[in-house]
Amino acid sequence: MKGTDGWVTVCLLEQLPVERAVVALVGDIQVAVVRLTGDEVRAVGHYDPVSRSHVMARGIVGSREVGGRQLPTLTSPLLKQVYDLDSGACLDDYDLTLGCWAVRVRDGSVEIQPHAAPDVPTGSGERRSDGGAG
């Protein structure tokens, strides 16, 4: 459900398992929504650019130390590339990235701000490459 401020409610926080991801449809984009310990929530693209499959919500939630800082991560369930949940960047191949969405928890509901992510499959076999907000 889209609110008057443009954010889309995808679920209740209590419905998200801790240290797991689920898939939400935001507009026509599949998004992997991840609940971390401490009720922090992240949202990245569900599309794995290496396997060219919508599988990222089935990945392994974890963390990796980079530059002395622990980053929350999501590992592809197929070919095991590790992605930073804060930026969507692949930590194993800097040419790869997942889309990354702004997410907030408001009154117990998880909300995502939709946008057209650059070059992200829409799920219908088409690609969006406009990169604009919408």
- Cα(80)–Cα(128) distance, rounded to whole angstroms? 25
Task: Tell me: pLDDT of 8 over 50.
Answer: yes
Task: Tell me: pLDDT of 127 over 80.
Answer: no
pLDDT in tens, 46-75: 999 999 999 999 999 999 999 999 999 999
- Cα(94)–Cα(10) distance, rounded to whole angstroms? 30
Separation in Å, CA 40 to CA 21, 55, 85, 99, 124: 12, 21, 11, 18, 30
Q: Which CATH superfamily is domain 8-114 in?
A: Rieske [2Fe-2S] iron-sulphur domain (2.102.10.10)
Q: What is this structure's pTM?
A: 0.83
Q: Which amino acid is at 73?
A: T
pLDDT in tens, 21-42: 999 999 899 999 999 999 999 9
Mean pLDDT of 93-114: 95
Give the pLDDT band of residue 6 (cuts 50, 70, 90): confident
- Cα(3)–Cα(6) distance, rounded to whole angstroms? 5
Any idea where the domains of the chain sit in the sequence?
Answer: 8-114
**DSSP structure string for 69-109:** EEEEEEE-TTT--EEETTT-BBSS-TT-B--EE-EEEETTE
